[in-house]
Amino acid sequence: MNTQATDTEKLTSWTPVILPPLSNLHKIEFYLANDGYKSFKKAMEMKPEEIIDEVKKSNLRGRGGACFPTGLKWSFMPKNSDKPKYLCVNGDESEPGTFKDRQILEFNPHLLIEGTLIACYAMGIRTAYIYIRGEYIKQIKLLQKAIDEAYANHLIGENILGTNFSTNIYIHRGAGAYICGEESSLMNSIEGVRGYPRLKPPFPAQFGLWGCPTTINNVETIANIPIIINNGWEWYSKVGAEKHPGPILVGVSGHVNNPGVFEMPTGEPLLEIIYKWAGGIPGDKGIKAVIPGGSSTMILRGDKLEDVRMDWDSLKKAGSSVGTAGIIVMDSDTDLIKVITRIAEFYYRESCGQCTPCREGTVWMFKILKRFENYKATKDDIDLLLDVANNIEGNTICALGDAAAWPVQSMIYQFRDEFEKRVEESKFHSLSA
Amino acid sequence: MLSEENKIKIEELRKRYPTSQSLILPALWMIQEQYGYISDESMKHISVLLNIPYSHILGVVTFYTMLHKNKVGKHHIEVCTNISCMLRGSGKILEHLENRLGIKSGETSTDKKYTLSEVECLGSCGTAPVLAIGKEYHENLTIEKLDKIIDALI
């Protein structure tokens, strides 16, 4: 067992609120019996601006990867608009290593609907689209059933609960494109055009879906809203890390004994998550590397995890980011060249092809990395690879370019020795060949 | 051609969106569920139905990996080989399937029974390795489990 792991008290002290351990919560009668839609009813007695203020003060940061303050995002929406306003709930969940929104859709879909309703009420929105990746067929069915139940209970639709507030919630199914998780690409996908990201500005709050004011929030972000309204911002802002508070769904995959999604307060030590929550490494091997927040985030060395915690501040200091909180653990026997080649292949396949640096750069990086994988690389290839990555970063319309560059850059910064070793081995390989 | 039932569904869906262009993806999904793929003829049909140029429909179809312009086998086996699955042995899963079915990734068997594809992250990393056959996910795969799954395919 790892020596850095501390007492187990902290592990058990958190009672899950996003994914409470209650069965049948996906059925409305069970959800209602467990104080379901109580937060929405409470919100309906508040003024819309009071709700936005509450979310702002809670310090909730978006759970879709960028950690943007949700209340601030909501406040960008114009109060008075001649055009209709829209909410898009992002359930595209395609970031490798990420499988958390799926749990909400499966086990607590009414929490998502309740959060969507509160968001719509707060921003004066009458139509919300929940965009779900095409592969999540089972989850789409479950959510649709929950939506139907909510309609039948007058919680969605016209004159909700006898008030003059009306909102419709629709599911829009994706069809297999990582890029559609990018907010402007997601809007294009809903509009029925190729899912190309849009240039910003204009930002969605001014010019979003069909040129109308639009807010896009991740599924987990929206699921946090009823928790904030129910418990108040003061309670919420004290959960977990100060600058990035609240419960967070952390997914752990790769070389661990007990992979899965765990709900915990932000700011948990990374090593504790790996050893206590996810059961440690099979065969008691060491940790070579960890990707903390989905494949786009900077890779961390296994021997430098001691003070790293699962929150915005701490991971930023460590040279990475929370991303989608999808931790991928790699044990001491892992071939990191193979790992980074596969990551590069992913971005090459998923680049939408709109911007030259990303379209050409991702395939170039993949080709260079294939040379490393196949023991055909030279020493110059290391710097060439870094050069290509550096020239993609910051030079594209959307963040996919950065997302493709960061893992490659960080792999070279953290594990240059692995690349050099491969070059040495390549010489031997060519001789023996 | 969309079935009569699906045509009614499309009419109902119109009220959800301010433009008929947004109905392209829902209509394409219906076509693919009816026929297993999206033919040129189907794209022309949707073009007329929604009053949108054929070239635009084609542009949408070719953008998404889940939409097929060509027929796939009766059982479309999609193996995730992204990192979380790779770290937990998806390479062996794919190799076993290639050997057993006698086709490479990206190919369809001559009897049109199987199509084997490598796919990107299916969002099932906690239960890796994983593959999808049609609408079903099969998780926590082992070679033994995989053999049983393939045996059960008719």
% residues pLDDT > 90 (chain A): 95
pTM: 0.96
Q: CB distance B125–A138 less than 8 Å?
A: no
Which DSSP state fits A283? G
Surface-to-core class of residue A158, CB atoms within 10 Å of its CB (0-12 exposed, 13-18 middle, 19+ buried): exposed
Q: CB distance A173–B87 less than 8 Å?
A: no
Q: Grade residue A427 by pLDDT with cuts at 50, 70 and 90.
A: confident
- Give helix A336-350 / helix A400-432 axis angle, nearest 10°: 130
Measured between beta carbons, the chain B residues lying within 8 angstroms of A295 are 82-83, 121
* DSSP E strand stretches across A260-399: 260-265, 287-291, 300-301, 326-331
A7 pLDDT exceeds 50? Answer: no
A338 touches chain B (CB under 8 A): yes
Q: Grade residue A3 by pLDDT with cuts at 50, 70 and 90.
A: very low
Q: CB distance A328–B135 less than 8 Å?
A: no
Mean pLDDT estimate for chain A: 95
* Cα–Cα distances in angstroms (integers) from residue B41 to residues A75, A281, B10, B72, in the given order: 47, 53, 18, 17
**Residue among A99, A168, A177 minimizing CB distance to B124:** A99
Q: Grade residue A11 by pLDDT with cuts at 50, 70 and 90.
A: low
A432 pLDDT exceeds 90? Answer: no
**Residue among A210, A254, A326 minimizing CB distance to B87:** A254
Per-residue model confidence (pLDDT) at position B154: 80
A9 pLDDT exceeds 50? Answer: no
A151 touches chain B (CB under 8 A): no
Interface residue ranges in chain B relative to chain A, Cβ cutoff 8 Å: 16-19, 21-26, 28-29, 52, 56, 59-60, 63-67, 81-84, 86-88, 120-128, 132, 135, 137
CB B32 within 8 A of CB A134: no
- Give helix A48-58 / helix A219-231 axis angle, nearest 10°: 100
CB A306 within 8 A of CB A355: no
Per-residue model confidence (pLDDT) at position A4: 35
A1 pLDDT exceeds 70? Answer: no
Structure token digits, residue B24:
């392209």
A248 pLDDT exceeds 60? Answer: yes
Per-residue model confidence (pLDDT) at position A433: 59
Per-residue model confidence (pLDDT) at position A13: 80
ipTM of the complex: 0.97
Compute the average pLDDT of residues A186-204. 97
**Residue among A127, A192, A259 minimizing CB distance to B23:** A192
Compute the average pLDDT of residues A59-65. 97
User: Mean pLDDT in each 10-residue stretch from start to end of chain B (154 residues)?
Assistant: 96 97 98 97 98 98 97 97 98 98 97 97 98 96 98 91
CB A143 within 8 A of CB A131: no
**B-contacting residues in A 250-309 (Cβ below 8 Å):** 251-255, 259-261, 291, 295
Surface-to-core class of residue A247, CB atoms within 10 Å of its CB (0-12 exposed, 13-18 middle, 19+ buried): buried
**Residue among A176, A192, A291 minimizing CB distance to B22:** A192
DSSP notation for A102-143 = HHHHHH-HHHHHHHHHHHHHHHT-SEEEEEE-TT-HHHHHHH
Q: Grade residue A52 by pLDDT with cuts at 50, 70 and 90.
A: very high
